[in-house]
Amino acid sequence: MRKKVLSLTLVAAMMAGCLAGCGNADSKDEGTTAAAGDSTTQAAASDDAIQNLIDATTGTVDLSVWASEEDQDLTTQVIEEFKKKYSDVDFNITLGAESESKAKDDILVDVEAAPDVFAFADDQINELVKAGALQPVQATYTFDVANENVAASIEAASVDGTLYAYPMTADNGYFMFYDSSVFTEDDVQSMDAMIEAAKKANKKIAMNVSDAWYVYSFFQGAGLDLTLNDDGLTNTCTWNQAGGTDVAQAILDLFKTGVFVDMDDPTQATAIAEGTICAAVNGTWRAADAAAAWGENYAAAKLPTYTVAGKQVQMASFSGCKLIGVNPHSKNVGWSMLLAEYLTSEDTQVTRFKQRGLGPSNINASESDEVKADPAISALAAQAAYATPQRVGGNYWTPAETLGSILAQGNPDGTDLQKLLDNAVEGIDAPVSQE
């Protein structure tokens, strides 16, 4: 593994951050890289940088970390390994549970009081950078973050060409996993065929349409766009233009079957275990639940087509990554950066895949035969042709969630569909104060 060299100047700067706090997001990387192939020199320089960090540390190093509820056991394991590896240092590392999808909202309440190291979904990166909540990855201790992760994950972790986070996974998208004793491979190509097969088996197909992340699938698939404007904060949405009401009606028609049901993530997990659903649109984090319940019948595929105004339309999806960020206001920036590397290293990503089935962003880990053979990862790869990067302004989520919820409930108030879409787009496209 190629090691990037930290110059003594940069090490000194990071030591200052470690001891006195650091909030400077404009400082430049003064690190240098040893000649290619000189791995011995590189490793020695990297070891020197870590030793300098150790030597400059006095007293207890306090670090706070946020990880998702599902990642608590693995993160605890990795933190203990980290403390053991650097046993010369007295660490006090506290771990809190925070959904990657909600991290930004809580961090922006008080950036300076936010945790030192935290996991988040890549669509939040623009707002976190604007708020000064992310320390640029200006140099590395143990591996070259920019060159050892897949290009898409580095793009997702960067803003205006500057790397601001450490890629943790490259699988933050969704697909269809299903019970192959109910569906054939041909069935799962279309939602209509899936509904017929599920009806015969007296089971349900679940999707969290009340969640803005998923309702996007229907509109984008039909060619109605949602784009982030150049300001990085506001959106332009065309869901209320020609064809939008056809999509809304198509969603209503799916729910009218009584087979296609709105179900959030935890409820899906319960329903899979209880055997009431035979297919679900979800992500890799629920693949293990499906595999445990369906055994050798567990299978996964790209999203199917669905019927819009009499025509078959391929369902789209968001694509994205999970990232680890370092708070520039940390009193121990150097140690925070080193821990962030440890949490996203090749070895940790392999362990995360084995324990939780999450797709690695690390190139070596992602190219292993074991990863390539995984049904969920293969389904994501097939869905990639119909997926778009998750880049939306913050005003997207609540109006789209409201729209999805109304449609999932069958539009109980009988609101005109054009009015529903106009209301949603008005909220999605609303201006954002930049004070």
Intrachain domains 8-171+321-372 and 175-315+393-427 with the same fold: yes
More confident residue, 390 or 13: 390
- Judge whether 319 and 49 are in contact, CB under 8 Å: no
pLDDT-derived band at 22, boundaries 50, 70, 90: very low
- Per-residue pLDDT tens over the stretch 37-48: 444 445 555 678
In 3D space, the residue among 369, 332, 362 whose CA is nearest the CA of residue 171 turns out to be 362
Give the count of beta carbons closer than 10 Å to the beta carbon of residue 369: 7
- Judge whether 114 and 63 are in contact, CB under 8 Å: no
Domain 175-315+393-427 has CATH 3.40.50.10420: no
- Per-residue pLDDT tens over the stretch 86-124: 999 999 999 999 999 899 999 999 999 999 999 999 989
Over residues 147-166, the mean pLDDT reads 94
**Mean pLDDT score of the chain, rounded to an integer?**
90
pLDDT-derived band at 244, boundaries 50, 70, 90: very high
Strand partners, 163: 158
CA distances from 295 to 91, 115, 150, 288, 298 (A): 42, 39, 31, 10, 6
CA–CA dist 324, 119 (Å, integer): 4
Is the pLDDT at 36 greater than 50, yes or no? no
pLDDT value of residue 48 = 86
Query: In 3-state terms, the chain is what percent helix, strand and coil (to 5)?
Result: 45, 20, 35
In 3D space, the residue among 182, 6, 127, 209 whose CA is nearest the CA of residue 391 turns out to be 127
pLDDT value of residue 10 = 39
Percent of the chain past pLDDT 70, that is, above it, reads: 89
- Judge whether 167 and 361 are in contact, CB under 8 Å: yes
pTM of this structure:
0.73
pLDDT value of residue 391 = 86
Over residues 357-368, the mean pLDDT reads 92
Over residues 418-429, the mean pLDDT reads 99
pLDDT value of residue 21 = 36
pLDDT-derived band at 435, boundaries 50, 70, 90: low
In 3D space, the residue among 284, 372, 274, 294 whose CA is nearest the CA of residue 322 turns out to be 284
Is the pLDDT at 29 greater than 90, yes or no? no
Q: Which two tokens stand for residue 285?
A: 């984090």
Assigned CATH class of 8-171+321-372? alpha beta
28-56 burial by CB neighbour count: b if 16+ within 10 A, else e? ebebeebeeeeeeebbebbeebbebbeee
Is the pLDDT at 193 greater than 70, yes or no? yes
Decide: helix, strand or coil at residue 102: coil
Burial class (CB in 10 A: 0-12, 13-18, 19+), 408: buried
Residue carrying structure tokens 């046993």: 87
pLDDT-derived band at 434, boundaries 50, 70, 90: low
pLDDT value of residue 433 = 76
Burial class (CB in 10 A: 0-12, 13-18, 19+), 282: buried
pLDDT value of residue 241 = 98
CA distances from 326 to 115, 145, 192, 329, 394 (A): 8, 14, 46, 9, 21
pLDDT-derived band at 11, boundaries 50, 70, 90: very low
CA–CA dist 349, 343 (Å, integer): 8
Percent of the chain past pLDDT 90, that is, above it, reads: 77
CA–CA dist 298, 306 (Å, integer): 22
pLDDT value of residue 27 = 35
CA–CA dist 337, 49 (Å, integer): 13
- Per-residue pLDDT tens over the stretch 126-144: 889 999 999 999 889 999 9
Q: How many residues does the chain have?
A: 435
Over residues 12-37, the mean pLDDT reads 37
pLDDT-derived band at 331, boundaries 50, 70, 90: very high
- Judge whether 350 and 130 are in contact, CB under 8 Å: no
Q: Structural domain boundaries of the chain? A: 8-171+321-372, 175-315+393-427
- Per-residue pLDDT tens over the stretch 372-409: 899 999 999 899 889 988 889 889 999 999 999 999 99
